[in-house]
Structure 1
Amino acid sequence: MDTAEILKKVRRIEMKTRGLSNHIFSGEYHSAFKGRGMSFSEVREYQFGDDVRSIDWNVTARFNHPFVKIFEEERELTVMLLVDVSESSVFGTVHQNKRNLTTEICAVLAFSAINNNDKVGVIFFSDGVEKYIPPKKGKSHILFIIRELLSFKPKKKGTNIRETLRFFNNAAKKRSIVFLLSDFLAGDYQDALTIASRRHDMVGIHVYDQRDKELPPVGLIQAVDAETGGRQWVDAADKRVQQYYTQQFLQHTQYCRSAFLKSGAELVSVRTDEDYVKALQTFFLNRA
C-alpha cells in the first residue's frame, strides 16, 4: 500500500472504531478495568447521608462546620497490545483476514483507553518481537499505532508467543492491562502466560477464520503452510483429511483455553465473519 492508501484506511478505521469507543464501549471499558485506587480530590460541606468516616476533622474544626473528603478513582492505566503479525495472520476467506480484524479490534481498544486517559503501547511479534511501541497518551499516538498495524511488514513468518511474553515480562515495569491478540496456532506458552498473569491483567483475544477449523471439500489441492513454507498435495474431499485438519485446530484451541484458564487470564474468541463488537461488549459487561 502507498502512503495515500494507508492514510485513507487509517481515517476509515478511525471513524468506525472511534464511534464504537465513544458510544458503545466507553462505560463498559471504564467499569471493566478499574484504576489503581482512590486519590483525594477535594473537600465539601457535609450532607445528610455522607459517611462520617470521610469527615475532614481539620477543616471541620477550622470552619466550625462539618466537611467531608471527596475521593476519586485513579484512572491512569497502561494498556499493552501484543499483536501477532506472523504469516498466518493474513489468512482469511470470508469478509476479511485475521490481520484486518485484529487491526480494528486494536483500534477500538486503543480509543477506549485514551477516552479514559490511559496510555497505550504495542508489541508486534512473529517468531520473536518485531517492534515495540512504548505506551503514550493522545489521539496522534493512536493514529500512529493504526498506521503501523496497517503497514507493518514482519521480518519473520512464524509465531513464538512464549518469547514475546518473556520479553514483555522483562520490559514492563508497572502493572498493565495486556491484550494478547493471535490465532494461537502455536503452543508451549502456558508457563510464560502464568508469569505474566501474576503481574498484569491478561486478556487473550483469539482471532480465527472458519477455514482454520474446516477444510472445504474441493478435491485435490496443494496445501501451503504459511509460516514454514511447506507444501503438500492433499485430497480435501477425503473425510479422514478433513477430520485430521479439524482435529489439529481443536488441539490448538483446547491448549489455548487450558493455558488461559490455568494461568488465571481471560480469553475472548472472535471469528473473522462474526460481529466482534458483540463479543467485546459481552466481555466488558461480564467483567464489570
Structure 2
Amino acid sequence: MKSWWRRTSRSGDAVPGAAPASAPVPGAETVLRRLEWTVIRRLDGLLQGNYRTLMRGSGLDLADLREYQHHDDVRHIDWNVTARLQVPHVRVFTEDREMAAWFLVDLSPSVDFGSGEQRKRGVSAEFVAVIARLLTRHGNRVGAMLYGSGVDTVIPTRGGRRHVLHVLHSLQARPAAAESGVTRLSDLLESAAGTIKRRSTVFVVSDFISEPGWERPLALLAQRHEVVAVRVLDPLELELPDLGLLTIRDSETGEQLLVDTHDAGFRKRFARVAAQREAELRESFVKAGVDALELSTDGDLVDAVVRFADMRKRRIRLAAGGGLPHHLRRAA
C-alpha cells in the first residue's frame, strides 16, 4: 500500500488539523521535562517496578531463595531445597550485567504525516525519550541509529539523562526528510546487524511503510538480539472519512492523486486494503519472532507502554511453562 499521506485539499491548502511544516519544535530539555512529569511519573506508579519486562539483562546472580508463588518461572525451582523442606522453593536472581538498548528510528518522509495535532515523527521521538529515560534511570545504556534516505546517524550507547537529551535532540534536529524515493527499511536493519555486536534489546521504531524485503533482516536481527517492533500509525491510514474531493500526495515520491472520499465504495476499498496490510504486518512480526507495539498519533503513550509491559510479562510466563508442575501443585 503506497504512503499517500501528505494531504492537500482540492485548492492546495493544508488540510485542517494537520500540523504546519514550519511549527516551532520545543527544545529537547523542555520536551524531556514535560515527559518526565506527564508520562514517566505516571509510569512509575503503573509499572510498579516491572521495568525488567521492558529489557532483561544477560548476566544473573543468585540473590535469595523463597517459597514458590503463582506464575513464578518453574525453571528456577531449587529441587534440593524443595525436597528438604517439602515446600516448593525458587531461586531469586538479580541481573548483574547491564544491557544496552538500541533504537532504530525510521525518519523517512512518511513519518512526517499526522492528521491531528501530533505527527508520527513526534510520537516516535516521545516514545524513544520515555523508554530511554526509564532504562537509563536503572543503570542501562541506550544508543540510536537514525534512518532518513539512508542510515546517516549512529549514536553509541551511553547512560544518563544527559545522553537521553542528546538522543532526543538528534531526533528533533533532523529536518523533515525530502522526497527521496521509496524507503528501504532493510538497509537500516542490515546496518544494525553489522553495528550492534553485543546482545542487546533493539526497538525498531517505524511506520513500516517500506519497500518489501525487510522481513528477513528483521528475523535475522531477532536471532541475535531481543527485538521489539514499534509500529507508529495515524488513524487516517486505516480508514478515510467523507471529506469530498482530495488531492493526496505520496510523501516519499511526490506522486499526486485526486480521490473522491465521498464515494462510499472507494472508502470501503481503502479500508479493505488497509486491513489486509495490517494483517500482513502482524503476520510478518510473528514470523520474525518479535514482540510488537502499536503507537497511534491519537493514542495515549502511557497506556501503550503499560499494555506492552503487561503483554511481555504474560509472554515470559507462558515461555516459562505457565505455572507449577502438576506433581507439585498439591504440595504448594
State the TM-score, normalizing by the size of structure 1.
0.82
Moved over 3 A (4+): 1-11, 13-18, 20-26, 51-54, 154-158
Q: Superposition RMSD on alpha carbons, in Å?
A: 2.9
Q: In structure 2, what is the equivalent of residue 207 of structure 1? A: 232
Q: Confirm or deny that 1:143 pairs with 2:172.
A: no
Q: In structure 1, what is the equivalent of residue 268 of structure 2? A: 243
Q: Confirm or deny that 1:131 pairs with 2:153.
A: yes
Evaluate the alpha carbon distance shift between residue 194 and residue 31 of structure 1 in structure 2; reply closer, same or farther with a 3 A threshold. Answer: closer
Spell out, residue by residue over 1:27-81, the C-alpha distance to the aligned partner (whole angstroms, 9 max, x if none).
Answer: 222244321122478xx9x9xxxx7989xxxxxxxxxxxxxxx974224011011
Q: In structure 1, what is the equivalent of residue 95 of structure 2? A: 73
Spell out, residue by residue over 1:62-121, the C-alpha distance to the aligned partner (whole angstroms, 9 max, x if none).
Answer: xxxxxxxx9742240110111111111121123411111111111111011112211101
Q: Distance in 2 between matches of 1:152 and 1:267?
A: 26
Evaluate the alpha carbon distance shift between residue 21 and residue 278 of structure 1 in structure 2; reply closer, same or farther with a 3 A threshold. Answer: closer
2:139 to 117, 141, 158: 117
Q: Confirm or deny that 1:272 pairs with 2:294.
A: no
Are the counterparts in 1 of residues 125 and 172 from structure 2 also a CA contact under 8 Å? yes
Q: Which amino acid aligns with 1:137?
A: G
Q: Specify the SS of the correspondent of 1:94.
A: coil
Q: Which amino acid aligns with 1:173?
A: K
Matches within 5 A, 1:1-20: 5=27, 7-20=29-42
Matches within 5 A, 1:1-288: 5=27, 7-20=29-42, 22-25=44-47, 27-39=49-61, 72-153=94-175, 155-157=177-179, 158-186=182-210, 187-288=212-313
Evaluate the alpha carbon distance shift between residue 10 and residue 108 of structure 1 in structure 2; reply closer, same or farther with a 3 A threshold. Answer: closer
Q: Distance in 2 between matches of 1:200 and 1:32?
A: 14
* Unpaired runs of at least 5, structure 2: 1-22, 66-77, 82-91, 314-332
Q: Distance in 1 between matches of 2:149 and 2:57?
A: 33
Are the counterparts in 2 of residues 209 and 273 from structure 1 also a CA contact under 8 Å? yes
Q: Which amino acid aligns with 2:153?
A: K
Structure 1 residue 276: deviation in Å?
Answer: 2.5
Greater alpha carbon shift after TM alignment, 122-131 vs 78-87:
122-131
Name which structure has the greater RCO, CA cutoff 8 Å, separation 6+: 2
Greater alpha carbon shift after TM alignment, 255-264 vs 275-284:
275-284
Q: Distance in 1 between matches of 2:269 and 2:254?
A: 20
Q: In structure 2, what is the equivalent of residue 62 of structure 1? A: none
Q: In structure 2, what is the equivalent of residue 61 of structure 1? A: none
Q: Distance in 2 between matches of 1:17 and 1:107?
A: 10
Are the counterparts in 2 of residues 184 and 252 from structure 1 also a CA contact under 8 Å? no
Greater alpha carbon shift after TM alignment, 194-203 vs 238-247:
238-247
Q: Distance in 1 between matches of 2:132 and 2:162?
A: 11
Q: Specify the SS of the correspondent of 1:268.
A: strand
- The structure richer in helix per residue is 1
Q: Which amino acid aligns with 2:187?
A: E
Q: Distance in 1 between matches of 2:230 and 2:124?
A: 9
Q: Specify the SS of the correspondent of 2:56.
A: coil
Greater alpha carbon shift after TM alignment, 122-131 vs 192-201:
122-131
Are the counterparts in 1 of residues 101 and 202 from structure 2 also a CA contact under 8 Å? yes
Spell out, residue by residue over 1:156-176, the C-alpha distance to the aligned partner (whole angstroms, 9 max, x if none).
Answer: 544221111000001110111
State the TM-score, normalizing by the size of structure 2.
0.72
Are the counterparts in 2 of residues 86 and 159 from structure 1 also a CA contact under 8 Å? yes
Aligned sequence identity (%): 29
Evaluate the alpha carbon distance shift between residue 154 and residue 166 of structure 1 in structure 2; reply closer, same or farther with a 3 A threshold. Answer: farther
